[in-house]
Structure 1
């Protein structure tokens, strides 16, 4: 029983230590204004992270995307200009992963294109 109480006390000490560190970090983020800046740029940060880190999905280039979405090349470029499609840019031509196109694919199905 004594060991159980000591373990519990040790765990509570660790939790308290980490909570103090979290509190300090949160205060620093709020006071510096960094948190506000991060929330302002959050959509761009998310898009950057999604474009940057490769996934275990097949890459889809222009011909595959056109067929997958059931749209013309002109519509493809118009959607890119509108910001509805955001291609990943690495060395070479633009590409997408199927998960990048889910929203537009649902729209294509809704409109009866595919």
Structure 2
């Protein structure tokens, strides 16, 4: 039983470390969570039309993640496209 208790202690410490890494507050540092956006939210966020969205997906400049219920985008993956939309005055 002693080895099982030691194993449980190690697993509990691993869980605590993982939990600390993935929480939004890491000590005094606040880590933003990456937000998943739907297709319509991406269109609104980038200030583009539906046809522009489809063209960018076809060209590969927007790469959706396939989820049940539709495509999703991580907000951090859209950084370059957002700055381009901002430069063009869409946002």
Same fold at TM > 0.5: yes
Matched, 1:58 2:35: yes
| Structure whose CA Rg is larger | 1
Shift of 1:58: 2.0
| Alignment partners' CA distance in 1, 2:68 and 2:39 | 15
Which is bigger in relative contact order (C-alpha 8 A, separation at least 6)? 2
**Structure with more strand by fraction:** 2
Q: Deviations over 1:5-48 (max 9, x none)?
A: xxxxxxxxxxxxxxxxxxxxxxxxxxxxxxxxxxxxxxxxxxxx
Matched, 1:72 2:59: no
- Which sections of structure 2, spanning at least 5 residues, go unmatched? 1-32
Matched, 1:85 2:59: no
Q: Deviations over 1:52-80 (max 9, x none)?
A: xxxx4221001110110000011000000
TM-score under structure 1 length normalisation: 0.49
TM-score under structure 2 length normalisation: 0.61
**Residue equivalent to 1:106:** 83
Shift of 1:91: 2.2
Q: RMSD of the alignment, in Å? A: 0.9
Shift of 1:92: 2.3
